[in-house]
Amino acid sequence: MVQRLLVISPVRNEAAHLELVAAAVERQTRPPDRWVLVDDGSTDGTGAILAQLGARCDFVEVIPGPSTDADAPVRDRLAAAAAPRAFNRGLHSVDWASFTHIAKLDGDIELPPDYFERLLREFERDRELGMAGGVWSEPDRASGVWKAAPIPLEFHVMGSMKCYTLECFRAIGGMQERLGWDTIDQTYARMQGFRTRSFPELVARHHRPWGSADGVLRGRARHGRCAYIAHYPAGWVTMRAFKAGRSRPRGVSGLAFLYGYLHAGLTRTSRVEDAEFRRFVRAELRNRARSEISQRVTHGRRLAQRPLRAR
């Protein structure tokens, strides 16, 4: 089957980065068959850049939007699921079922020139792969060197640059318009028998530092809320909070993550209403924890067996 790629980009106030992002897509060795950009109420000049892009590139379609802030300003747009709502607007503007692959690309992600070619090749090679993407890098604050974000490659696909097969997208019911959508969709994909995978050799540049839109601590708390919504158990969340606490601002980041989880529970935030989803998540996390412990024990034994001089 001939692969056909649809890329959808919800964008809002990305004037500082959009030209770089667009140039990276235009020079792809395997460009998208259709690139739909949805302006989600920008106020900075993004609209003018989109108009120029639509005029010069024949595979681009621009969806101007009424500002979602016109009637009710939204402080935390990620918590309000603004991006998946805009994505679905773009999705339903085209005959999306005529494509074999559907991707989401944020307006601050600059792709390497062979990104789509190599990603589609992975889908072709592995017919069980239902959702995949690369990883993004950000400049280290101390050295300025671009460093890739560490993620669990076999479980997490970044929401800012993920791609679905049409079969997987249909099986999971598309993109949910709720906080935590990018955790929920990949869990449902694995429940449906699809593999999910991030490829560390496909490294993009993230031009808007994580959490810069509305604050790092608010972002950590939001991730805690996502963990509650996805039925992650308290023990796992506590361990994750310790890990988050090693990131800047140290200590406080972990507390913010834990606060988000506990606050979601106290306020009875709506969770995924699917008992099978909850059982799957908790079983998967138990298996992941056992695997990680086994790997650490094996690594410790190997170190103990090495000659003292070799250590």
Q: Which has the minimum average pLDDT: 29-33, 147-151, 169-173, 228-232?
A: 147-151
Rounded to an integer, the average pLDDT of 196-224 is 85
Supply the pLDDT for residue 66.
60
pLDDT digits (tens, 9 = 90+) for 29-51: 999 999 999 999 999 999 999 99
In the block, residue with structure tokens 């990603």: 119
Report whether 112 contacts 29 (CB < 8 A): no
- Provide CATH 3.90.550.10 ranges for the chain: 5-206
More confident residue, 29 or 145: 29
Mean model confidence pLDDT for the chain: 90
Q: At what angle do helices 234-244 and 252-266 cross, to 10 degrees?
A: 150
Amino acid at 53: L
| 49 token code pair | 């850049």
Supply the pLDDT for residue 164.
98
Based on DSSP, count helices (H) and strands (E) in the chain, helices before strands: 10, 9
Q: Which of 42, 92, 38 is nearest to 60 (CA)?
A: 38
- The pTM assigned to this predicted structure is 0.89
Rounded to an integer, the average pLDDT of 236-258 is 90
pLDDT class of 72 with cuts at 50, 70, 90: very low
More confident residue, 162 or 210: 162
pLDDT greater than 90 at residue 163: yes
Rounded to an integer, the average pLDDT of 90-107 is 98
| Residues 108, 186: Cα–Cα separation, whole Å | 22
Q: What share of the chain in percent tops pLDDT 90? A: 74
Supply the pLDDT for residue 71.
45
Supply the pLDDT for residue 209.
67
pLDDT digits (tens, 9 = 90+) for 112-144: 999 999 999 999 999 999 999 999 999 887 788
Q: What share of the chain in percent tops pLDDT 70? A: 91
pLDDT class of 299 with cuts at 50, 70, 90: low
pLDDT digits (tens, 9 = 90+) for 58-68: 999 999 876 44
Cα dist from 24 to 31, 84, 116, 118, 216, whole Å: 10, 23, 11, 15, 27
Strands 5-11 and 109-110: unpaired
Residues linked to residue 63 through DSSP beta bridges, in sequence order: 38
Supply the pLDDT for residue 70.
44
pLDDT digits (tens, 9 = 90+) for 259-273: 999 999 999 999 999
Q: Which of 217, 241, 214 is nearest to 228 (CA)?
A: 241
Supply the pLDDT for residue 101.
98
pLDDT digits (tens, 9 = 90+) for 169-207: 999 999 999 999 999 999 999 999 999 999 999 999 999
Other beta carbons less than 10 A from residue 238's beta carbon? 13
Overall CATH class of domain 5-206: alpha beta
